[in-house]
Amino acid sequence: MTPEQTESILKSLQFVGRPKMTKQEHVLEVYEPYDYQGDNPIHAAGVSVLPGPMRDEYYLVQVANPFQIGAAEVELLLIQPRYNGDNIDRAVSSTCTVNISRVIHALNPDPGERLSFEDFVRWGVGKISLSSF
């Protein structure tokens, strides 16, 4: 995904009027992939909670320092609680073990539209916590 696509997604989400917008700042500790060599923890700012392909919700965060995975620059991640008993609000406002996915192309920011499995790829596992950076 290009920086222009990232900027377009973020601008679009500002005007959508989604009910669950956030301005939280987070620390994301990466546990997997084991061979990840970038910043750890990753500093990120919450953008929005988005409905997923099924009944799940995903938390879109923008990383403070974009990093490379292969040829792709990663600026946006989707966070989802890893364990069944945890809901998305815990990932947004507390500490939670999470699955981490990379956004692989522009998202559709229309209200009521769900993410599709083609929008992201699972990347790792970690822990998200609130932070002030």
Task: Give the separation between CA 120 and CA 132, rounded to whole angstroms.
Answer: 27
DSSP character for 94? Answer: S
Spatial contact of 78 and 67, defined as CB atoms under 8 Å apart: no
The tally of domains found in the chain comes to: 1
Spatial contact of 51 and 115, defined as CB atoms under 8 Å apart: yes
Domain span at residue 37 reads 3-130
**Phi first, then psi: what are they for 117, rounded to 5°?**
-65, -20
The string of pLDDT tens digits covering residues 64-92 is 999 988 888 899 999 999 998 889 999 99
- Whether this model's pTM surpasses 0.85: no
Confidence of residue 100 (pLDDT cuts 50, 70, 90): very high
